[in-house]
């Protein structure tokens, strides 16, 4: 019998023997118009991918900022990453903080091949500036350090926890995550920067997806290019006294429009449980930890 008759009833079978006439997910978009995969549960075989990535002996970095009060998120972040983030790989956590001494006192039990480095990062009065400057700080450390230590770098918000696997299926030369608030929105409702004066400007009739700044990554070479572009744009805006509507996220969206990511992560990779249940969402891999914005930012 042709596989189209049996595959829908045999998920495990399908994952090992792909069938040309059957798509595992028909409820979601699995590929962008420029042929970048969009990663959803059930669309890949992790055993095949692990064999490929282990063969290459990849080293993976995960960078996160813990400036001022945001150090409170660090424990949960690292503890859950130990359970779910790139298990079985060489992983370097890079904690960028203004409280280096305090964070160095923390004790984390890390698995084999996993290390944590505490790096000095400047602080800024306004939370907006802390967000904006992430691009500059990542750029500089990528050039000075990350390039020598890892092949891929992911950059994440810290007010988050892992609650399911984030593995090598998510890695690619340049990857971005579809924002959980905008996966179903139409282009005209994306909150891109719409003022032509800003370097983050996106015209009304352009744009593919609305990407989240809370999780993105790629090879260190691609991350250098991305962060350098965003930081240069942010500084040019500053000269003109203009601040993009969603800060560094606006610049990231502009970058991804003209430098298309080679892989997209579905909202499984950046979810907020306040959004409730969704039929298409089979796994919640990386979810927001609720916070009181006023309390934590000031």
Which residues of this protein are in contact with Mn ion, per CB under 5 A? 157, 159
Which of 247, 251, 248, 267 minimizes the C-alpha distance to 259?
251
Q: Tell the smallest beta-carbon distance from residue 20 to ligand UDP (Å).
A: 41
Q: Tell the smallest beta-carbon distance from residue 143 to ligand UDP (Å).
A: 21
Q: Tell the smallest beta-carbon distance from residue 293 to ligand UDP (Å).
A: 6
Does 84 participate in binding ligand UDP (rule CB under 6 A)? no
Does 129 participate in binding ligand UDP (rule CB under 6 A)? no
Question: Is residue 249 among the annotated active site residues?
Answer: yes
193, 249, 277, 295: the catalytic one is 249
Residues 3-42, mask of contacts with ligand UDP (x by CB under 6 A): ----------------------------------------
Does 137 participate in binding ligand UDP (rule CB under 6 A)? no
Cβ–Cβ < 8 Å for 225, 168: no
Looking at the Cβ atoms of 101 and 239, the one nearer to ligand UDP is: 101
Q: Tell the smallest beta-carbon distance from residue 127 to Mn ion (Å).
A: 11
Residues from 192 through 231 that contact ligand UDP (CB under 6 A): 214
Cβ–Cβ < 8 Å for 164, 84: yes
Does 95 participate in binding ligand UDP (rule CB under 6 A)? no
**DSSP-assigned beta bridge partners for residue 152:** 60, 219
**CA distances for 57 relative to 77, 81, 89, 109, 244, angstroms:** 25, 20, 8, 23, 39
Cβ–Cβ < 8 Å for 81, 94: no
Does 63 participate in binding ligand UDP (rule CB under 6 A)? no
Which of residues 151, 159, 169, 222 is near ligand UDP by CB under 6 A?
Answer: 159
Q: Tell the smallest beta-carbon distance from residue 80 to Mn ion (Å).
A: 15
Binding site for ligand UDP (CB under 6 A): 64-68, 70, 127, 130-131, 157-159, 214, 297
- What residues act catalytically? 249
């Amino acid at each position: 019998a042709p596989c189209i008759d049996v595959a829908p009833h045999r998920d495990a079978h399908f994952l090992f023997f792909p069938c040309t006439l059957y798509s595992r997910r028909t409820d979601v978009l699995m590929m962008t118009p420029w042929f970048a995969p969009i990663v959803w549960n059930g669309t890949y075989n992790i055993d095949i991918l692990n064999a490929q990535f282990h063969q290459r002996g990849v080293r993976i970095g995960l960078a996160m900022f813990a400036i001022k009060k945001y150090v409170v998120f660090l424990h949960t972040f690292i503890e859950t990453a130990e359970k779910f983030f790139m298990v079985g790989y060489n992983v370097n956590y890079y904690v960028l903080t203004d409280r280096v001494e305090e964070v160095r006192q923390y004790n984390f039990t890390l698995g084999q091949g996993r290390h944590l480095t505490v790096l000095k990062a400047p602080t800024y009065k306004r939370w907006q500036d802390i967000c904006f400057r992430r691009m500059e700080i990542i750029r500089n450390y990528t050039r000075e350090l990350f390039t020598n230590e890892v092949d891929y770098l992911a950059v994440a918000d810290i007010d988050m926890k892992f609650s399911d696997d984030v593995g090598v299926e998510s890695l690619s030369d340049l990857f971005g995550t579809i924002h959980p608030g905008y996966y179903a929105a139409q282009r005209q409702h994306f909150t891109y920067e719409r003022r032509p004066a800003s370097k983050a400007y996106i015209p009304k009739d352009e744009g593919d997806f609305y990407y989240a700044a809370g999780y993105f990554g790629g090879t260190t070479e691609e991350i250098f290019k991305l962060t350098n572009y965003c930081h240069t744009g942010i500084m040019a805006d500053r000269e003109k006294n203009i601040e993009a509507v969603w800060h560094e996220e606006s610049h990231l969206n502009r970058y991804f429009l003209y430098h298309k990511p080679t892989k997209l992560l579905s909202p499984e990779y950046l979810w907020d449980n306040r959004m409730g249940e969704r039929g298409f969402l089979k796994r919640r891999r990386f979810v927001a930890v609720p916070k009181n914005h006023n309390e934590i930012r000031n």
